[in-house]
């Protein structure tokens, strides 16, 4: 026999609470029959809050016991979300996986195979563009985080604002295989400074910092991944210069 639960959530003409929908879906996944009660006006919502002594909706009840909102419900089922400041490699791993898939698609469309060194070139250049795009979403926040460890940015503040444009532009030129005499030296310059800066901050100074590689709101720890990003750019630049 399925268990039952009661859910009170905001469903108004101009707004439907997303956490209410997530709470309903979670309860149903856990095998509950949900009594879905809609609060359709501000008067109903305020009256509900007063009656149950709560400050927000949705509110879920199981066996007559109030569990709470979506986060409380998730914790009740042992599925509490990770704390907001928890470090994670997921953003950069996802980015590199997408870049690799895009490189394979382009390689297949253009060359009809995946074996060419051009596939690797596309992978690195696409990664540079995607990483640059993450930074360009909020250049101000990126530049602020970048100042924590980049040696050149600490001496010349404007460099932190220029970096995302250099990385993105060099990546685009490398993707097209054009103006290598511009893109390769630019990538080599910023990546060399980046590699030295990361190595000093992490392996010499032993500092625990967040990496600005995927933007100013990054929770990716500064370290091996950040160093790898810069080494990939250095390798790409040297390779393309050798082909001139």
Q: Walk along the chain (244 residues) in steps of 10 and give the mean pLDDT of each run.
A: 86 91 94 94 94 94 93 88 68 91 93 82 94 93 92 95 96 93 95 95 90 77 84 92 86
Which has the closest alpha carbon to 70: 8, 12, 17, 20? 20
49 and 172 Cβ atoms separated by less than 8 Å: no
Per the domain annotation, does 118 fall within a domain? yes
Domain check: are 159 and 232 in the same one?
yes
CATH number of the domain within which 8 lies: 3.40.30.10
Name the residue range of residue 201's domain: 90-242
The structure's pTM equals: 0.78
Domain check: are 117 and 204 in the same one?
yes
Domain check: are 166 and 236 in the same one?
yes
CA pair distance 52, 80, nearest whole angstrom: 23
Per the domain annotation, does 83 fall within a domain? no
Per the domain annotation, does 50 fall within a domain? yes
Domain check: are 139 and 233 in the same one?
yes
pLDDT (tens digit per residue) in 88-112: 778 888 999 999 999 999 999 988 8
């Amino acid at each position: 026999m399925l268990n039952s639960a009661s859910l009170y959530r905001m469903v108004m003409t101009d707004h439907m609470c997303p956490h209410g929908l997530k709470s309903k879906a979670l309860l149903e996944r856990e095998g509950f029959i949900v009594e879905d009660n809609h609060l359709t006006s501000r008067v109903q919502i305020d009256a509900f809050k007063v009656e149950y002594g709560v400050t927000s909706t949705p509110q879920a009840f199981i066996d007559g016991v109030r569990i709470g909102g979506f986060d409380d419900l998730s914790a009740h089922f042992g599925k509490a979300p990770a704390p907001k400041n928890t470090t994670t490699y997921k953003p950069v791993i996802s980015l590199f996986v997408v870049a690799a898939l895009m490189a394979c698609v382009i390689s297949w469309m253009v060359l009809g195979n995946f074996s060419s060194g051009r596939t690797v070139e596309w992978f690195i250049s696409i990664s540079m563009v995607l990483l640059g795009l993450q930074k360009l979403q909020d250049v101000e926040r990126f530049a602020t985080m970048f100042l924590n460890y980049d040696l050149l940015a600490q001496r010349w503040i404007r460099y932190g604002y220029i970096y995302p444009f250099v990385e993105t532009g060099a990546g685009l030129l490398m993707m097209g295989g054009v103006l290598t005499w511009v893109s390769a030296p630019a990538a080599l310059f910023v990546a060399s400074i980046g590699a030295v800066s990361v190595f000093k901050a992490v392996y010499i100074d032993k500092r625990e910092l967040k990496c600005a590689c995927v933007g100013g709101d990054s929770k990716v720890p500064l370290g091996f991944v950040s160093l790898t990003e810069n080494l990939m750019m250095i390798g790409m630049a040297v390779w393309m210069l050798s082909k001139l």
